[in-house]
Homo-oligomer: A and B are copies of this chain.
Amino acid sequence: MSDTFTKAFEQADYHVSGHSPRSVQVLKEALEGYDSVLESDMYGSGKVIEEFQEKMAKVLGKESAVFFPSGTMAQQIALRIWCDEKGIKRVAYHPLSHLEIHEEDGLKELHHIEPVLLADENRVITLEDVVNMKEDIACLLLELPQREIGGQLPDYKTLQEISAFCREKGIRLHMDGARLFEILPFYQKSAEEVCALFESVYISMYKGIGGIAGAVLAGGHKFTEQSKIWKRRHGGDLISLYPYILSANYYFNQRQEKMEQYYKEAKELADFYKECHRVYLRPAEPVSNMFHVHFKAPKGTMESLLAELYEESGIGLSGHIREVNGQTSCFEVSIGDRYAEVPKEKLKGAFEKLDKKMREL
């Protein structure tokens, strides 16, 4: 990342994406709401952790839920439990699943579970992919939305069909719901309704919710009890998880109801991008608070162009841009609290400038 680009982004008056910066203030603010004498959780027990777990189980419509330090840990464990149950060390997921590309092969190295990669890198998993799969698997993992391709979603009917097929075939369906709350406005469903299609669900507390870190794994009682044993084995059963739990709870309460707003704002912002030359979006129409912006120009060119744009307009669109191939580059947009702070006129002006600059390339 060029220093000029990063600096121009940081110094912009407004940032279009995300919540406030990930500074210590995020934790300080969350803690202000809690009494100092509130006792720490202790190795998975105590009021702080138990109450939050019960609350999340209810929100997700599952028998019980367990707080984990990370989704990486929670999901490997979910897949391991379903593999052990069926006696088959094979699961299926998308080739761009977090497990496949961001976890240093923990699933394979620690659990010796072999993945079957469904669909291809450009689209989400369909019913046909699942039906035509030749391998016997214990569990199918669906990521909703599929983050690495801009946050794409299957339609709800497909989800229902995949769920019905898996139940018929004795395949456990697990949800990577890192951004579950972010897609509910598109589906027009409650978390409970979507989760009912899955045997187990992981949600993240720091994506749209904006907590410090942490995850929740939910499912039937037997499943979550087993997950606690694996949590200890992984080294995730910390003496105190409350810094993450309290902030998760605080920001969940604050942002749960704002997902509809983020979704609308994402669509509004997408409309601005769509007007620009040499710019296209994935998905073409947002189905959550996120989407990817692709530029028909190399990364270096775009860094210079955007740095100028940020300086001239005072609007910072993104601080990270990545090469797609020699000819195109892209960044991710994820709408949070900051979008509402950006004056519309200034934003409009920035996009007029962007369009002009892209035409002049």
Q: Are B69 and A238 in contact (CB under 8 A)?
A: yes
Q: Are A24 and B242 in contact (CB under 8 A)?
A: yes
Task: Determine whether A22 belongs to the interface, using a CB cutoff of 8 Å to chain B.
Answer: yes
Interface string of A8-42 (1 = CB under 8 A from B): 00000000000001111111100100111111101
Least CB distance, A234 to chain B, in whole angstroms: 5
Task: Determine whether A76 belongs to the interface, using a CB cutoff of 8 Å to chain B.
Answer: yes
Task: Determine whether A136 belongs to the interface, using a CB cutoff of 8 Å to chain B.
Answer: no
Chain B, residue nearest A228 (CB) = B104
Q: Could you say which of B38, B72, B246 contacts A232, with CB atoms under 8 Å apart?
A: B72
Residues of chain B within 8 A (CB-CB) of A23 are 36-40
Q: Are A235 and B74 in contact (CB under 8 A)?
A: yes
Least CB distance, A217 to chain B, in whole angstroms: 11
Residues of chain B within 8 A (CB-CB) of A105 are 233
Beyond A70-B235, A213-B240, is A229–B104 a contact (Cβ under 8 Å)? yes
Question: In whole angstroms, what is the CA distance A243 to B240 when docked?
Answer: 11
Residues in A104-137 with C-beta less than 8 Å from chain B: 104-106, 109-111
Beyond A24-B37, A42-B22, is A103–B233 a contact (Cβ under 8 Å)? yes
Question: In whole angstroms, what is the CA distance A28 to B38 when docked?
Answer: 11
Question: In whole angstroms, what is the CA distance A235 to B238 when docked?
Answer: 13
Residues of chain B within 8 A (CB-CB) of A27 are 31, 242-243
- How many copies, total? 2
Least CB distance, A251 to chain B, in whole angstroms: 13
Residues of chain B within 8 A (CB-CB) of A72 are 232, 234-235, 237
Least CB distance, A330 to chain B, in whole angstroms: 20
Residues in A314-355 with C-beta less than 8 Å from chain B: none
Task: Determine whether A239 belongs to the interface, using a CB cutoff of 8 Å to chain B.
Answer: yes
Task: Determine whether A68 belongs to the interface, using a CB cutoff of 8 Å to chain B.
Answer: yes
Chain B, residue nearest A109 (CB) = B233
Task: Determine whether A244 belongs to the interface, using a CB cutoff of 8 Å to chain B.
Answer: yes
Question: In whole angstroms, what is the CA distance A237 to B230 when docked?
Answer: 17
Q: Are B106 and A234 in contact (CB under 8 A)?
A: yes
Residues of chain B within 8 A (CB-CB) of A104 are 229-230, 232-233
**Seed contacts A21-B39, A212-B243; 10 additional CB < 8 Å A-B pairs:** A23-B38, A24-B38, A25-B37, A28-B36, A69-B69, A72-B234, A103-B235, A106-B235, A212-B242, A243-B244
Closest 7 CB pairs of A and B: A73-B235, A106-B233, A243-B243, A72-B235, A25-B36, A22-B40, A70-B235
28 A-B residue pairings within 8 Å (CB atoms): A22-B42, A23-B38, A24-B35, A24-B36, A24-B40, A24-B242, A25-B36, A28-B36, A69-B236, A70-B235, A70-B237, A72-B234, A73-B234, A73-B235, A73-B236, A74-B235, A76-B235, A103-B232, A104-B233, A106-B234, A106-B235, A109-B233, A110-B234, A206-B239, A212-B242, A212-B243, A236-B236, A243-B243
